[in-house]
Chains A and B, each alone.
Chain A
Amino acid sequence: MSFNIPIGPQHPALKEPENFTFTVDGEYVVGVKVRIGYMHKGIEKLMESKNYIQNIPLVERICGICNVAHTLCYCQNIEYLHGKEIPRRAEFIRVIIEELNRIHSHLLWIGIVAHEVGFDTFFMYTWRDREVVMDLIELLTGNRVSTALNTIGGVRRNIDNDKAYRLKKGMEILERRTKYYKQIATAEPTLLTRLKGVGILTPKEAIKWSAVGPTLRASGIKSDVRADDPYAAHDEVPFNVITYDSCDVFGRLMVRIDETLESIDMVRHCLDHIPSGPIRIRLPNAPPKGESISRVEAPRGEDIHYVKSNGSDKPERYKVRAPTLGNLLSLIEMLTSKGEYVVHIADIPVVLAGIDPCMCCMDRSIKFIDLRKEKVWTWTWDRLKKYSKEVHEKSK
């Protein structure tokens, strides 16, 4: 006997719409059903009615947090269609803004995980320091979140000496703070007890369920689009692909912290080695007939865009696969108790948050089905989180 717990359709962890039905046996989760499709924005269809330039701000709004990854992927895709290469300086600026966006996304996620386990002090520190990188993004692009820097044929704003100086200053603060967070994450008992051994995803299962990004890398598999299939200036900017083989949420936390440090180094390298020259070439409004695929390593994983052009100034078909869709199925594995590995109801929030889900680039209440009492009930996300904290308070 078991009982079903529906989480969603209003999104777990990030207040976006999604539905999970958990089958539970007492305190243990024994099965998960993921139901997607609550968030239909109609962006792909809308793109077919707008021209290529008008589509850039639209693509940017697929995901607010990883907006740079989406615009970069889109612009690259159209440039592939044209068969033109963009100036080298523009490619370096693209890497800088992409890595700044990754730092901002990872710091945000670290705060969210800390919040999910009830460690709100850590959450507030990370989010305060995230302001540093947000201000730098604002300085470079004119806006804190929606950067709108990438455009077809290059980038829209240049980096002058003053901005480069301020970027380097900002990187110093961020590096010092991120190193401190790493120290807290590895030593703080609150985090360790809640994250270690939770949400296990073995390398074999990670590949089977096609996990991407930090989720895959925390299972010990070296896979990163920036290294495997370099785009923009990534062929010239050195960096380490971070992997951890602990396969749990703690591994995912460490992967993201280390990636933040790598990104900081990458921004510095770019600022030191950026070539001079133009930042943009003008391309015709209508690309030639054809199809193209572009891949970008977004903060959450691999982002894939497909375009089909019929020679007019509007795309005939545009398809986006956001990284969360790749990671979502691996949740089935992480949240199913098997043999000695058991998942408690109280661990659900942190495992869900662990993949850094972005459901609106993908769905929020939880439905529980009890196997023993044949009972079904629904909890909101806040109720589940409260329950989770109560259980861990008692166990102290």
Chain B
Amino acid sequence: MKKVNEVNSYMAMTFEALRHILKKRATILYPFKEREKVHVPKGFRGELVFYLDKCIGCASCFKVCPSETIEIIYDGQKRRPIFYLDRCTRCQQCEEICPTHAIELTDNFETVGFDRKEKIVK
């Protein structure tokens, strides 16, 4: 009986393995091939964009940002935020609190760069 059980259990894995020979590969060859296959759902928290014309300079975003991404400056015309995106954790709290929808998180997840200065949104 013990022998039968043992054989059964080995067979269970064998069938599973055989079944998967016929299936398609689960891995997506992401950075080099099949880039288009990467599925990003609606509402994904990606890199943020900032619309300066909508901003009223209330600094609410500055108050909720956990990682000091946002700095409030005076640019000669109005008070406004600038964003150091290398520090951004994409928690979306700034988008939520913004009264005029001047901040928006896009579905862009490829946010790597070689220079921190490129990652400053002015």
Asked whether A and B interact, the reply is yes
How far apart sit A74 and B8, CA to CA, in the bound complex (Å)?
A: 48
Q: A53-B64, A57-B67 are in contact. Are A121 and B44 (CB under 8 A)?
A: no
Find out whether the CB atom of A188 lies under 8 angstroms from the CB atom of B45.
Answer: no
A391 at the interface (CB under 8 A from B): no
Q: A121-B17, A138-B41, A143-B90 are in contact. Are A56 and B66 (CB under 8 A)?
A: yes
Closest to B40 in A: A138
Residues of A in contact (CB 8 Å), total 27
How far apart sit A55 and B63, CA to CA, in the bound complex (Å)?
A: 11
Find out whether the CB atom of A139 lies under 8 angstroms from the CB atom of B41.
Answer: yes
B13: chain A residues within 8 A (beta carbon)? 121, 184, 188
B77 at the interface (CB under 8 A from A): no
Residue numbers of A with Cβ under 8 A of B are 50-51, 53-58, 121, 125, 128, 131, 135, 138-139, 142-143, 146, 148, 156-157, 180, 183-184, 187-189
Residues of B in contact (CB 8 Å), total 26
How far apart sit A183 and B43, CA to CA, in the bound complex (Å)?
A: 37
B5 at the interface (CB under 8 A from A): yes
27 contacts between A and B (CB under 8 A): A51-B63, A53-B93, A54-B65, A55-B66, A56-B66, A56-B91, A57-B66, A57-B67, A57-B93, A58-B66, A125-B16, A131-B26, A135-B39, A138-B41, A138-B44, A142-B41, A142-B44, A142-B45, A143-B45, A143-B90, A146-B89, A148-B92, A180-B16, A184-B9, A187-B5, A187-B8, A188-B12
Closest to B44 in A: A142
B96 at the interface (CB under 8 A from A): yes
CB distance from A144 to the nearest CB of B (A): 10
CB distance from B51 to the nearest CB of A (A): 20
CB distance from A185 to the nearest CB of B (A): 10
A56: chain B residues within 8 A (beta carbon)? 66, 91, 93
B89: chain A residues within 8 A (beta carbon)? 57, 146
How far apart sit A96 and B101, CA to CA, in the bound complex (Å)?
A: 29
Known: A51-B63, A138-B41, A189-B9. 9 other contacts (CB 8 A): A50-B66, A54-B65, A54-B66, A55-B66, A57-B67, A138-B44, A142-B41, A143-B45, A156-B96
Find out whether the CB atom of B12 lies under 8 angstroms from the CB atom of A183.
Answer: yes
A187: chain B residues within 8 A (beta carbon)? 5, 8-9, 12
Closest to B45 in A: A142
CB distance from A131 to the nearest CB of B (A): 8
Find out whether the CB atom of A142 lies under 8 angstroms from the CB atom of B43.
Answer: yes
A188: chain B residues within 8 A (beta carbon)? 9, 12-13
Closest to B27 in A: A128
